[in-house]
Structure 1
Amino acid sequence: MTELHLWLRHEVRSTERRTPLVPSDARRLVEAGATLTVEASPQRIFPIEQYEAAGCAVAPAGSWVAEAPREAVVVGLKELPDEPGALTHRHVYFGHAYKQQPGAPELLRRFAAGGGALLDLEYLVDDQGRRLAAFGYWAGYLGAALAVLQHRGRLTAPLTPTSQQELEEVLRPVAGDEEFTALVVGALGRSGRGARVALRAAGLDPTCWDLDETRNLDRPALLAHDLLVNCVLATSPVPPFVREEDLDDPARRLRTLSDVTCDVGSPLNVLPVYDRVTEWTEPVRRLHKEPPLDLIAIDNLPSLLPEESSTGFSGSLLPLLLEFGTGGPWGRCLERFRQACRELGIEEGEARRV
């Protein structure tokens, strides 16, 4: 591999337990010739000692700002801290900045100001546009699992990280549980597959919709289900699945809505009936009193199964990091960043030297 310095940063979000790179895969990168610096992080599911044993250098949390060499590639998952105002490095993480989300223009201008670049993991795709590294399966799994627990009155807060085995033990139906219907929209994708697995672990046989069923949406049929798990991430405008006027519909049976996608704030949001996500401390929000409708919309669901989800994601990301460069998937990432900058009137030359 060409000379590569990766800098695995600490996550500023207190509920983020995941990592994009687990120690065993870090070892493979070091053995392949990469330099890997890992910031200490008390919340990361894997302790820093495992990275040290894998041959990584260790740095204090947040030190990338002042200490990471300019050529280093800073790797993370969720949002960056608000400072510095000018971002000089290439950053690999989920930026959520290309679909007019709140704060997106300000983030992209921070990169332009420092000559850095966003290599957004959501846009790390093959030449057919398929995602190459994703947490979707576990997001769908957890979105469905939490919805079932809420619908059965067994969801407790605050949420805490667990394991798949422990979660499935509480998902199993018990005597006295009422039967109900569940619908997964986007059932054929990664998230939809995870949602279906969780619902079946809970003893349910969900209705499964995908493109064919949503192309000409049967909204009354959708609202006739008791529980809905949305796994659709729209890339072009589509009619919303649930509208404000649907909340007042007395015929609505839908009582629990789990939005795995959490595309809140985007004009492409297929569930424009809420304006902010829910949190681990308060995972459920009542959207409507009568007939009742409860919402779960947590935007880092896989962090509730941090070891399983990190291991799967890291395994997908590793071969891409081993081939890191300006072509292929990484080149497509960079071009998508430059396109977003051009849409804001930022000159390409400002948007990095890569």
Structure 2
Amino acid sequence: ENVFKLVEEGIKVHVQKSWIRIHSDEEFEQAGATVTEDLSEATVIFGVKEMPVTFFEKGKTYVFFSHTIKGQTINMPMLRRMKELGCTLIDYERIVDENGRRLIFFGRHAGIGGMAETIWALGKRLDSMGQITPFSSVGRPYEYKTVKEIKEAMKTLGTKLEVQGVPKELSPMVVAFTGYGNVSIGAQEIFDHIPHVQLTPQELLTRANSLDHDKVYKVVFYEKDMVKKRDGGEFELKEYFEKPDLYEGIFYQYLPHISVLINCIYWDERYPRLITKQYAKEHYSKDRVRPFAIGDISCDVGGSVEFNMKATDPSNPVYMYNPETGKTRDGYNGDGVLVMAVDALPAELPWDSSEEFSKMLKKYIPAISNADYNNKFEDLNLPEEVKRAIILYRGEFTDSYRYMKKFISD
């Protein structure tokens, strides 16, 4: 539909052939696009995730999630090659408004997929322990046609839990959500179809020993709940973002009471971790594993959940982390903490995520496609929110991203 509108507006659209897209090549051809393997005629290329180093061509403009702004090591060869070729890089993640709010994102669908995947993984983990529970009947996100069907599955799960009770391995079942952005909103959107009692972080601490073992509880954590000021002063959000070294983590105090942790926060090395390998090792107990499972939707490897050792994919979505040995084991068998770390979660909801992402992106495509990239950067006729997202312009880092030079220096 959106390709058809772009073609009507006079924009020539080439679509690379694919047999794994939710929309077929034939559908794009019917909408007026040229379907071809060769994109050499295109001067602006839109993608989704990282592109192969060999894919880039001299002087072209590329728009995708580059995952480079933190200096992610795995993507530095790609960034270096784009710079060498004089490419322009526009990163969806940095298309933000004047308040820094992202305008193009998969976050909500990552949250939806991550929550559903974690619930499925719980069922498989409990099955492996000989416990056939209401969770056993929940499918993978991609096994449902729409988000609506996933929500119906959660309602059914909730009804069964009310009748059969919460499995003892999870009881009392406390599901903790870190963060409150689009990812967390999506995850909670799914979880909220399971009957539950909501607690504040402080209530979790004060009522931990009196929680009903047959109920499900939900707790949402904000920054002020996860850190404290080192000098004992008042928490200030702006100060925390700008000077995180003045704060230290306190999330560890909640961990003994959390059955399932759904991690949805932005993290980089300036900030305290939620859980460290050392903490996990010192407090691990085979008799009562807490957290029993972690859905690390943020998927920062070695990040806020330090023992998230690797990103996974839909074909192999979970692994067990053994705090005693520091080793992982693919699947849901063995000792330790269950970790879900799929980093392509929207792909498990291809129809819904594609439709919503396309609607967000379409309004910017004409301007990005028609811009004259031979102009000086300051004269580039693009919406300000798009200009904020230009990491490389004709092979040079723009002012906001000059700090990234150090990531690719020899």
Aligned length: 314
Which residue does 2:404 correspond to in 1?
343
Structure 1 length-normalised TM? 0.80
User: Which one has the bigger helix percentage?
Assistant: 2
SS of 2:54 mapped into structure 1: coil
For 1:8-47, list aligned pairs within 5 A: 24-47=1-24
Change (3 A) 1:105 1:86: farther
Deviation at 1:166, TM superposition (A): 3.4
Change (3 A) 1:259 1:332: same
What's the secondary structure of 1:344's corresponding residue? Answer: helix
Partner of 1:183: 176
Aligned ranges for residues 285-324 of structure 1 at < 5 Å? 285-288=319-322, 292-324=336-368
Structure 2 stretches lacking a partner, 5+ long: 125-135, 198-217, 229-249, 325-334, 372-379
C-alpha deviations, 1:102-143, integer Å up to 9, x for none? Answer: 223211111111111211111111122111111101111111
Aligned equivalents of 1:204 and 1:55: distance in 2? 49
Q: Quick one: structure 1 residues 177 and 27, their matched pair in 2 at CA, closer, same or farther if it must change by over 3 Å?
A: farther
Q: In structure 2, what residue type is equivalent to 1:297?
A: A
8 Å CA contact 2:53–2:77 kept in 1: the answer is no
C-alpha separation between the residues in 2 aligned to 1:346 and 1:177? 51
Which stretch shifts more, 201-210 or 151-160? 151-160
* 1:229 partnered with 2:262: yes
Aligned to 1:127: 98
After the TM superposition, which residues 1-354 of structure 1 pair with which residues of structure 2 at under 5 Å, given as runs?
24-60=1-37, 63-64=38-39, 67-69=40-42, 72-84=43-55, 88-153=59-124, 154=136, 160=142, 162=144, 163-171=146-154, 172-173=156-157, 174=160, 175-176=163-164, 178=166, 180-186=173-179, 188-205=180-197, 206-216=218-228, 217-234=250-267, 237-248=270-281, 249-250=283-284, 253-264=290-301, 269-288=303-322, 292-324=336-368, 325=371, 326=380, 327=382, 328-335=384-391, 337-338=397-398, 339-340=400-401, 343-344=404-405
* SS, match of residue 323 in structure 1: helix
Q: CA deviation at 1:322?
A: 3.2
> 2:192 aligns to what SS in structure 1?
helix
Q: How many Å apart are 1:149 and its aligned residue?
A: 2.1
Q: For residues 390 and 69 of structure 2, what CA distance do their matches in structure 1 show? A: 12
Q: Which runs of 5+ in 1 are unaligned?
A: 1-23, 348-354
Measured in 1, the distance between the counterparts of 2:182 and 2:67 equals 19
Query: Shift in Å at residue 87 of structure 1?
Result: 5.2
* Counterpart-to-counterpart distance in 2, 1:85 and 1:78: 14
For each residue in 1:202-238, what CA deviation from the matched residue of structure 2 results, as whole angstroms up to 9, or x when unmatched? 3344211122222333422134110000000126721
Q: Aligned with 2:262: secondary structure? A: strand
1:151 positional shift:
1.9
The change in CA–CA distance for 1:221 and 1:142 in structure 2 (over 3 A counts) is same
Distance 1:215 1:247, change over 3 A: closer
Whether the aligned pair in 2 keeps the contact of 1:38 and 1:57 (CA below 8 Å) is: yes
Q: 1:114 and 1:342, CA in 2 relative to 1: closer, same or farther beyond 3 A?
A: farther
Provide the rounded CA distance (Å) in 2 between the counterparts of 1:279 and 1:193.
22
Structure 1 residues 210, 56: CA separation in 2 closer, same or farther (over 3 Å shift)?
same
* Counterpart-to-counterpart distance in 2, 1:161 and 1:320: 32
Bigger Cα Rg: 2
- Structure-2 change in CA distance of 1:275 and 1:32 (3 Å): same
1:98–1:104 CA contact under 8 A, matched in 2: no
Give 1:289 shift. 6.5
Higher mean Cα deviation, 133-142 or 337-346?
A: 337-346
Shift of 1:29: 1.5
Q: 1:342 to 1:157 in 2, by over 3 A?
A: same
Instruction: Using the TM superposition, name which of 213-222 and 255-264 deviates more.
Output: 213-222
Q: Aligned-pair distance for 1:157? A: 9.5
SS at match of 2:89: strand
TM-score by length of 2: 0.70
**SS of equivalent to 1:257:** strand
Q: Within 2, Cα distance between the matches of 1:84 and 1:49? A: 24
Q: Is the 8 A contact 1:143 1:195 kept in 2?
A: yes
Measured in 1, the distance between the counterparts of 2:20 and 2:354 equals 13
Using the alignment, how far apart are the partners of 1:88 and 1:176 within structure 2?
62
- Of stretches 189-198 and 283-292 in structure 1, the one that deviates more from structure 2 is 283-292
The farther-off stretch of 272-281 and 128-137 is 272-281
Give RMSD over aligned pairs.
Answer: 2.7
Per the TM alignment, residue 58 of structure 1 is displaced from its structure 2 partner at its CA by 1.7
Is the contact between residue 161 and residue 305 of structure 1 (CA under 8 Å) also seen in structure 2? Answer: no
Asked if the contact 1:105/1:344 (under 8 Å) is kept, the reply is: no
